[in-house]
Chains A and B, each alone.
Chain A
């Protein structure tokens, strides 16, 4: 007589033989592989604009964009600021191809706003730099301004505040020049919608802060710093500084490091400190350091980005040029502003 357990075992074997059940699907991996192969054969996917998606609502996006920036825009102006000439042309062509002879488009392009915004940004950047760096020669100011208003910087800002999908233009992905132009036109639209004050704050918050984490010395490098430093000191009736080797380590090795200090001959004060792999490099770096001290561009400078915007200097202010720079010629106003800066920094 068979026991109950044996019967159960036999039944189990019979069942599995009948159904041939497996724990996985044998068709799955080959199918996925084939799908992947076909996808690869088609090549990489082209980027698609967000507007091709079904739930795209341009008006809502525009509204959300202005709210994200925290600004009050005139809707028509904002729309105009984001419309490129190329978009209007392409839309007209589309209508013509359909058979409409005189296409009607209720759109204005942003070319006027771009010019206006560009001038506005240039002016604010110029005034801000002259206010916070009153001792830096005009050449240095120009270089920093060039960096701040370059297409590269402006397009970077424009992309990261999210204009790239809102811009109406023919090219996609949007070109850098278009992005930069749109940032300029948005600034101009802001000037017209909310006034100069808000627009200045906008430029300060988004554009000027780009130099916050940058090494300011990389923008402008005066040539022959040793000669330049002694020329400048000569204009202040100080003899040319005397270089002294104040430290060196591992002199006979590949990793030798020298430190050179520049001392004024009359009162034995150190005016610059430099280091480098050879004495000549260290000397040159010491001269550069001396120049930095004179121009108020020291390594640990903290630019006052929270400066009150009424205190920006006038547009026609010019700093001294390198060829005529001297301590005595610095205007008393610039010294006053310097004091103002330090007060602001210390109060934070």
Chain B
């Protein structure tokens, strides 16, 4: 192979690093998107036998959102292998123990089970907050667009902005709007 051919191939198969902010995102919805980048479905050179997937760094996995009663109803099963070793953990307890686990399991269970699955999972880096190590941040070249808009909580508005917001009615003086 000529020198040009070598660097061309190097450039074609270079692994990119993508950043994904999981704040207010449903991990079950995110899994297909994350899988696309992890396996390289978005590349024209994609083929099941070609190892062309990218790295994905997920941050703020503590801030994920589940719809409805999902935190209480969703239960994660584990079996130790011994008799009476089965355990069922509700999502909210699991999230308390390890804030990265629910996101990881969502992506893992979404992918088809084969010998490549654990290799692909090695390229997924999940961080519970926004403190991503500098060494990893330097690799990142792309940000994956969040799937849902991030709602702005009332606390983030300043007092002036709240006062200036157009009012439809005037509340009575003794009406309690919020405890704060």
Q: Which residues of A pack against B, CB within 8 Å?
A: 215, 217-218, 221, 247-253, 255, 257, 259, 274-277, 281-282, 285, 288, 299
Contacts and interface: CB of A to CB of B under 8 A. Distances in A.
B55 A250 contact: yes
A281 B17 contact: no
**B7, B15, B135, B138: most-surrounded residue (chain A CB, <10 A):** B7
Contacts of B10: 257, 275-277
A229 to B, nearest CB: 16
Nearest to A274: B7
Contacts of B7: 274-277, 281-282, 285
Contacts of A276: 7, 10-11
A251 B139 contact: yes
A252 B11 CA distance: 16
Contacts of A275: 7-8, 10-11
7 smallest A-B Cβ distances: which pairs? A257-B14, A218-B2, A275-B11, A215-B2, A276-B7, A249-B16, A250-B139
The interface size bin for chain B is 10 to 19
Contacts of A251: 138-139
Interface of B: 2-5, 7-8, 10-11, 13-17, 55, 135-136, 138-139, 141
Contacts of A247: 141
Contacts of B17: 249-250
Contacts of B2: 215, 217-218
A252 B138 CA distance: 7
B20 to A, nearest CB: 16
Given A255-B14, A259-B11, A282-B7, 14 more contacts: A248-B141, A249-B14, A250-B16, A252-B139, A253-B139, A255-B13, A255-B15, A275-B8, A276-B7, A277-B10, A281-B7, A285-B3, A288-B3, A299-B4
A218 B55 CA distance: 34
Contacts of A249: 14-17, 139, 141
A277 B3 CA distance: 12
Contacts of B8: 275
Contacts of A259: 11
A32 B137 CA distance: 70
Contacts of B138: 251-252
